[in-house]
Structure formats: structure tokens, C-alpha cells
């Protein structure tokens, strides 16, 4: 994607300049939005206009921007009269928490596997990477549904299952980078100064692959977030009374024809967050490209 944009920029200098300036400065809007999301997750009470759990039959299914006796409902209310905007804010914490923790676990596993496979090559490389490929070949989303329905849906199991979706991606990228770094003279020089294998991997190889990991990490948070929403939507993910955006979407589905906002607005929020993550990742990619 980025490569395509760069080629286009080179081909048309005029268009390229405007695009580059957009790419240079547009990212902070998305970054600011993500900071807002982090704030929602950290201190939802500060942002929620209403108590997200308070039921009120008198203000059921109000459309967005409608005014009740309590005030204006920015995102409308659900079938039990709860304020949707407040619920979306409340759901932010668990949504982000699951996505970040699961992606971090997946990244840690993938980075370790990728470095070992790339550095040692040979049999360990073949074993580890075939394992990743075999897993990629399976429809992991379906396996996740199966596992969650067998073990019972819970946040903990979700956090254990979701990393399996992403670790092979990290492993592949890190392995490829490690293959390059491994050949560098400074790795040989590090060995010649007495570095043991763990020291070489963690102090010399890892810092050199971090830019690529960072790019991937940010994108994968978005992917995991979508996966969690999918699982919650299907009823095998997060369970009430916990709230995530995926769960809100699922709750709104039966009422789609009468109250579209219950499904659409959490969906849009989820989409914008994933888009922001992608944009931020592209920004990191430019840095990583410049560094390499």
C-alpha cells in the first residue's frame, strides 16, 4: 500500500507533494483520536453523560440527538432506555484491553519464534515456521468459536485464544528481518566480543527488528479488535454485564429495522478506531522505512 503510494508520488511530482504533505501531517488527527479512546478507557466516568446502566422505560429507543428529561442523548438510547453513548464509552476499556493484551501476547510469541527460526535456520526454522503455516491454513476464527463454545465464553479464554490468530504473522515478519540482520558483520563482531546466543538475540537482533514489529503491532491491534467484536457478536466472546463494542453491535442487531443506531454507531466507532490504528501504523512504517 505504502509502496504504491510512494511510486505514485515519484511518478507525479505535483500530486506527490500534496499527498506527502497530507501524509506528513494527517496522522496526528488519528493519533489524537486514539488518545481520546485511551482516555475513555482510563476514566470513563469523566466522559459518560449518563449512568450507562440506568434503565428508564420512559426513554426507550430514542434516536440519536433526541432529548429526554435527563438531557440530550448523542447516540440515542436502547430498548431498555440506557444511553448508548455512555455505553460505548464504558465498553472502550474492555475492548481496548482485550485487543492490546491479546496482541501483545501474540507479538511476544511471534517475535521469539521468528528470531529463533531466523537466527538458527535449519531444522528449528522449518519446524517453527511450518507450525505457523499449518495454523494459518486452519480457519482459526472457526476454531476460536469452537474452543470458546466448548470452554465457555470468558474474557480470560478470549485473551488466550486471540493471540493464536496473530502470532504467525509476527513470526514471519521477524524471521525475514532476522535473516537479514544475522548476516551483518556487527552480529559476528558481537559474537567475537563474547556475546552468548540470548545476548545476541535480545541486545543486537531485537532492536534492529523493532521498527517492523511496531508497524505490525499497531495494525494487528485493529485486527484483534475486529476478531473480538466478531466473537462477541456471535455470542461466544464477552458476556453481559461486561460491555464491549462488539457486544453492543450484537445487542442492537434484532432491532436493526427499528433502531439502526444501536448497531451502526458502535460499528462506526469500531471502524474509525481500526482505521486510526492503520493510519498510525503507516506513519510508523515511514519511520521504519527511513531507518532502514
Partner 1 sequence: MTGAGTEAGAPPLLEVEDLSVSFNTRRGVVRAVDGLSYTLDRGEALGIVGESGSGKTVGSLSILRLFGLFDDVTVTGAVRFEGRDLLRLSETEMSRVRGGQIGMIFQDPLTSLNPVMPVGEQVAESLRFHTGASRDAARRRTVELLDRVGIPDAANRYHELPHSFSGGMRQRVMVAIAVACEPKLLIADEPTTALDVTVQAQILLLLDELRREMGMALIVITHDFGVVAATADRVLVMYAAQPMEHCPTDHLFQRANHPYTEGLLRLVPRFEHRAHKRLRPIEGQPPALTEPIAGCPFEPRCTHAVDRCAAERPPPVRLGPSHHSACWLAEERARRETAPDKPWEQP
Is 71 one of the binding residues for partner 1 (CB under 8 A)?
no
61 dihedral zone (left: phi>0; alpha: psi -120 to 50; beta)? left
- Taking the C-alpha atoms of residue 99 and residue 278, their distance in angstroms, rounded to an integer, is 14
Is 122 one of the binding residues for partner 1 (CB under 8 A)?
yes
User: How many residues bind partner 1, per CB under 8 A?
Assistant: 24
**Whose Cβ is closer to partner 1: residue 213's or residue 269's?**
213
Q: Which of 121, 230, 235, 267 binds partner 1 (CB under 8 A)?
A: 121
Q: Which of 1, 150, 156, 193 binds partner 1 (CB under 8 A)?
A: 193
Q: Name residue, grid cell 511471534.
A: 110
DSSP 242: S
Q: Which of 189, 202, 275, 287 binds partner 1 (CB under 8 A)?
A: 189
Task: From 61-69, 128-136, 205-213, 220-228, give the range in contact with partner 1 by CB under 8 A.
Answer: 205-213
Is 208 one of the binding residues for partner 1 (CB under 8 A)?
yes
**Whose Cβ is closer to partner 1: residue 141's or residue 186's?**
186
CB of 151 to partner 1, least distance (A): 41
Number of CB atoms found within 10 A of residue 61's CB: 16
DSSP 70: T
Radius of gyration (Cα) for the chain, nearest Å?
23
Question: How much of the chain is helix, strand and coil, in % rounded to 5?
Answer: 75, 5, 20
- Taking the C-alpha atoms of residue 216 and residue 212, their distance in angstroms, rounded to an integer, is 6
Cα–Cα distances (Å) from 130 to 15, 27, 123, 181, in that order, read 44, 37, 10, 22
Is 13 one of the binding residues for partner 1 (CB under 8 A)?
no
Task: From 160-168, 189-197, 257-265, 266-274, give the range in contact with partner 1 by CB under 8 A.
Answer: 189-197
User: Interface residues with partner 1 (CB under 8 A)?
Assistant: 119-122, 182, 184-186, 188-196, 199, 203-204, 207-208, 210, 291
Amino acid at each position: 500500500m505504502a509502496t504504491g503510494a510512494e511510486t505514485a508520488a515519484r511518478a507525479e511530482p505535483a500530486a506527490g507533494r500534496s499527498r506527502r504533505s497530507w501524509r506528513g501531517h494527517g496522522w496526528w488527527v488519528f493519533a489524537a483520536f486514539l488518545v481520546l479512546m485511551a482516555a475513555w478507557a482510563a476514566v470513563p466516568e469523566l466522559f459518560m453523560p449518563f449512568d450507562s446502566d440506568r434503565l428508564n422505560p420512559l426513554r426507550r429507543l430514542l434516536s440519536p440527538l433526541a432529548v429526554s428529561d435527563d438531557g440530550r442523548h448523542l447516540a440515542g438510547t436502547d430498548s431498555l432506555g440506557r444511553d448508548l453513548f455512555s455505553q460505548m464509552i464504558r465498553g472502550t476499556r474492555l475492548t481496548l484491553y482485550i485487543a492490546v493484551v491479546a496482541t501483545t501476547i501474540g507479538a511476544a510469541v511471534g517475535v521469539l519464534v521468528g528470531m529463533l527460526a531466523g537466527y538458527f535456520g535449519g531444522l528449528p526454522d522449518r519446524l517453527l515456521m511450518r507450525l505457523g503455516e499449518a495454523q494459518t491454513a486452519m480457519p482459526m476464527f472457526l476454531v476460536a468459536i469452537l474452543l470458546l463454545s466448548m470452554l465457555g465464553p470468558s474474557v480470560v479464554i478470549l485473551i488466550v485464544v486471540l493471540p493464536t490468530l496473530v502470532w504467525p504473522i509476527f513470526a514471519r515478519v521477524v524471521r525475514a528481518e532476522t535473516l537479514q540482520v544475522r548476516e551483518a558483520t556487527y552480529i559476528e563482531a558481537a559474537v567475537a566480543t563474547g556475546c552468548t546466543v540470548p545476548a545476541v538475540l535480545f541486545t543486537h537482533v531485537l532492536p534492529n527488528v523493532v521498527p517492523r514489529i511496531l508497524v505490525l503491532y499497531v495494525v494487528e491491534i485493529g485486527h484483534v479488535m475486529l476478531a473480538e467484536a466478531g466473537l462477541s457478536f456471535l455470542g461466544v466472546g464477552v458476556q453481559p454485564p461486561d460491555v464491549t463494542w462488539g457486544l453492543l453491535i450484537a445487542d442492537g442487531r434484532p432491532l436493526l429495522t427499528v433502531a439502526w443506531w444501536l448497531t451502526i454507531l458502535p460499528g462506526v466507532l469500531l471502524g474509525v478506531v481500526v482505521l486510526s490504528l492503520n493510519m498510525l501504523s503507516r506513519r510508523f512504517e515511514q519511520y521504519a522505512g527511513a531507518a532502514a
